[in-house]
Amino acid sequence: MLGEMWSFRGRYKILHLTWFAFFLSFVVWFNFAPFSTAVRETFNLELGQVRTIAICNVALTVPARVIIGMLLDKYGPRITYSILLIYAAIPCVTFGLAQNFSQLVISRLALSIVGAGFVVGIRMTAEWFPPKEIGLAEGIYGGWGNFGSAAAAFTLPTIAGWLAFGGSGLNWRIAIIGTGIISAIYGVVYFLNVRDTPPGKVYQRPPSTRGIEVTTKKDFWFLMLMNVPLSGILMVLSWRLKKVGFFNEGAFTIAILALLGLYLFQAYNCWTVNKDLLSGKKKYAPEDRYNFSQVAILELTYIVNFGSELAVVSMLPAFFEGTFDLSKQAAGAIAASYAFMNLMSRPGGGLLSDKLGSRKMTMGVLTAGLGIGYMLMGTISGGWWLPGAILLTMACSFFVQAAEGSTFAIVPLVKRRITGQVAGNVGAYGNVGAVAYLTIFSLLPEWVSSGKFAGFSETEKAAVIAQSNTAFFQVMGVAALIVAFLCFFILKEPKGSFSEHHEGEVEKELVTSSR
């Protein structure tokens, strides 16, 4: 596969077109961060307002990934991805033309939906590559596409500077609008150049996409439990918006009630899909069953790998700047190495999953490795040798991103006809982890200082921040080690992990040929 990968034919054409679609969706999704200072100056925003916009940038990504997964299983990745890329132009244009804080917030909420694009390519890639090669293919898709966030940070400020035509500042408005227009154009290109499945293959759809189909009664109640954090983390986001003054008490209460309604609506849809199973009218043959516990463990793995990556990327520049007394530019360059590792780490994790003979053990080892890496990063202090701290950070990022690749080497093998929904839920849990970790991180200085942070001297404040950084890495490390334990002892090897055909393909081909 590695030798053929550079050809632009057949399945490799689909892979390259799809990872670039993901790349553009991440450029769009992360196009605010490079201009946060410029936007703040343009609108004279307070720091809390800027952070509110950043929160809104991920707010709807959690439910969007679940919904996109449903649409994906019903309509196929070609239509779903194309529409999402074209849609991205709308919030980009409205954000670029915004005249006040409220318009910025609404535009960013709408734009957070674009972050769900990742889910679509997971199924597209799985349709074109056999199980024995799925790890590397999904790793290339995820790793190279994920690099869009770093590309946005490096290129957009330069482009905005050119667009200023020698004037002071950055023309951030045109730069952000431009990313949306490029995305929309590529959405049309993508639609015209891909198809959902290879010639002769059938795109498998579940009977209903209103909720995840489970195959045992016990798994239905497990599904209800695992849906709780998806609404719960949005309640945490609402609380954060209340803390910065965006929500008053009345609006906060309405938001909580709406999210409770969202959970109940999701539960009702899941019941509708599985009501015949629950009533005993429907039973699944043993070969058609799958364990939802396996989906749950994959959701937890994505919390501790991708969730922690999003959280660490947000704090790493300030961490190196404060710990080693570096300039913002130097600290930013060092922190960028974490994101750069995606280019090889995520494909590397998928390749290891393909080659080591056990996807389960690969998942466990990589998750344990990132847990140990975070525990070691918790020991970094100003007394460390800087190159040593950088090497440790890059080594930790390898395990984090390789574990992400390993997660999605398993996701397409759980149950083929609901791959979109499984990928959507697992992907959503990555955002659950990011919001949870960042919320803990924002509260840690207060916890460490017992609520007396404001009365500390600068030296004492620095010590408290150092302690909170240590605690933050330790929280992520312990969580990863717990999930690694689940991978070793509860996660099961997917059926047909290394076969030439996906579930159901051989049978369908035999039926077709007999006709």
Structure-block tokens of residue 233: 């983390």
Statement: residue 463 has pLDDT above 90: no
Q: Would you state the pLDDT for residue 462?
A: 73
Q: Are residues 343 and 475 in the same domain?
A: yes
Confidence band (pLDDT; 50, 70, 90) for 493? Answer: very high
Span 191-206, pLDDT tens digits: 999 999 999 888 999 9
Q: Are residues 186 and 221 in the same domain?
A: no
Q: Are residues 342 and 489 in the same domain?
A: yes
Structure-block tokens of residue 326: 């570096």
Q: Are residues 249 and 327 in the same domain?
A: no
Domain boundary pick from 144, 163, 195? 195
Q: Would you state the pLDDT for residue 514?
A: 40
Q: Are residues 333 and 314 in the same domain?
A: yes
Q: How many helices (H) and strands (E) does the chain have?
A: 22, 0
Statement: residue 155 has pLDDT above 90: no
- The stretch 454-460 carries a mean pLDDT of 64
Query: Using CA atoms, how far apart are residues 336 and 314, in angstroms rounded to an integer?
Result: 11
- Print the domain residue range for 502: 290-515
Statement: residue 94 has pLDDT above 80: yes
Q: Would you state the pLDDT for residue 36?
A: 84
- Count of alpha carbons within 13 angstroms of residue 98, beta-carbon side: 24
Among 34, 149, 49, 135, smallest CA distance to 359 is for: 135
Query: Using CA atoms, how far apart are residues 239 and 444, in angstroms rounded to an integer?
Result: 17
Q: Would you state the pLDDT for residue 449?
A: 53
Span 33-78, pLDDT tens digits: 888 888 888 999 887 788 778 778 877 888 999 999 999 999 999 9
In angstroms, the Cα distances linking 479 to 87, 230, 501 are 36, 18, 35
Q: Is residue 98 part of a domain?
A: yes
Which three-class secondary structure state does DSSP give residue 16? helix
Domain boundary pick from 195, 230, 246? 195
Q: Would you state the pLDDT for residue 450?
A: 53
Among 96, 110, 98, smallest CA distance to 29 is for: 110
Q: Would you state the pLDDT for residue 515?
A: 43
Q: Is residue 204 part of a domain?
A: no
Yes or no: say if 69 and 178 are a contact pair by the CB < 8 Å rule: no
Query: Using CA atoms, how far apart are residues 5 and 43, in angstroms rounded to an integer?
Result: 47
- The stretch 257-273 carries a mean pLDDT of 95
Q: Would you state the pLDDT for residue 148?
A: 87
Query: Using CA atoms, how far apart are residues 135 and 16, in angstroms rounded to an integer?
Result: 15
Query: Using CA atoms, how far apart are residues 244 and 46, in angstroms rounded to an integer?
Result: 10
Statement: residue 476 has pLDDT above 80: yes
Q: Are residues 224 and 323 in the same domain?
A: no
Q: Is residue 201 part of a domain?
A: no
CATH number of domain containing 160: 1.20.1250.20
Q: Is residue 210 part of a domain?
A: no
Q: Would you state the pLDDT for residue 492?
A: 94
Which residues have CB under 8 Å from 443's CB, separation 6+? none
Helix (H) or strand (E) holding 212: none
Residue with tokens 């779903």: 80
Which three-class secondary structure state does DSSP give residue 76? coil
Among 446, 449, 429, smallest CA distance to 243 is for: 446
- Cα 365 off chain centre by: 21
Q: Are residues 124 and 269 in the same domain?
A: no
Which of the two residues, 46 and 221, has the higher pLDDT score?
221
Q: Are residues 437 and 299 in the same domain?
A: yes
Q: Are residues 304 and 272 in the same domain?
A: no
| Total tally of structural domains belonging to the chain | 3
* Ordered alpha helix ranges (H), 164-291: 172-193, 217-243, 249-279
pLDDT over 70, % of the chain: 93
Q: Would you state the pLDDT for residue 512?
A: 44
Structure-block tokens of residue 477: 């490390």
Q: What is the mean pLDDT of the chain?
A: 89
Q: Would you state the pLDDT for residue 37?
A: 81
Q: Is residue 245 part of a domain?
A: yes
Statement: residue 508 has pLDDT above 60: no
Q: Would you state the pLDDT for residue 458?
A: 65
Q: Would you state the pLDDT for residue 333?
A: 80
In angstroms, the Cα distances linking 298 to 119, 318, 415, 462 are 14, 31, 13, 37
Q: Is residue 30 part of a domain?
A: yes
- The stretch 141-159 carries a mean pLDDT of 87
Burial class of residue 44 (count of CB atoms within 10 Å of its CB; 0-12, 13-18, 19+): exposed
Statement: residue 1 has pLDDT above 70: no
Span 442-453, pLDDT tens digits: 787 666 655 555
Q: Are residues 278 and 300 in the same domain?
A: no
Yes or no: say if 414 and 494 are a contact pair by the CB < 8 Å rule: yes
Span 389-440, pLDDT tens digits: 999 999 999 999 999 999 999 999 999 899 999 999 999 999 999 889 988 8
Which residues have CB under 8 Å from 293's CB, separation 6+? 219, 222, 490
Of 53-57, 282-286, 460-464, least confident by mean pLDDT is 460-464
- The stretch 69-93 carries a mean pLDDT of 96
Query: Using CA atoms, how far apart are residues 246 and 237, in angstroms rounded to an integer?
Result: 11
Q: Are residues 440 and 305 in the same domain?
A: yes
Span 105-133, pLDDT tens digits: 999 999 999 999 999 999 999 999 999 99
Among 413, 424, 414, smallest CA distance to 73 is for: 424
Q: Would you state the pLDDT for residue 446?
A: 60
Burial class of residue 142 (count of CB atoms within 10 Å of its CB; 0-12, 13-18, 19+): buried
pLDDT over 90, % of the chain: 62
Query: Using CA atoms, how far apart are residues 56 and 108, in angstroms rounded to an integer?
Result: 6
- Cα 509 off chain centre by: 35
Domain boundary pick from 226, 261, 283? 283
Yes or no: say if 31 and 159 are a contact pair by the CB < 8 Å rule: no
* Ordered alpha helix ranges (H), 356-418: 359-377, 386-410
Among 204, 189, 25, smallest CA distance to 121 is for: 25
Span 298-325, pLDDT tens digits: 999 999 999 999 888 878 888 888 889 8
Q: Are residues 267 and 301 in the same domain?
A: no
Confidence band (pLDDT; 50, 70, 90) for 513? Answer: very low
Which three-class secondary structure state does DSSP give residue 366? helix
- The stretch 182-196 carries a mean pLDDT of 97
Which residues have CB under 8 Å from 225's CB, separation 6+? none
- Give me Rg for the CA atoms of the chain: 23
Q: Would you state the pLDDT for residue 425?
A: 95
Q: Is residue 203 part of a domain?
A: no
* Ordered alpha helix ranges (H), 6-46: 10-29, 36-43
- The stretch 450-477 carries a mean pLDDT of 76
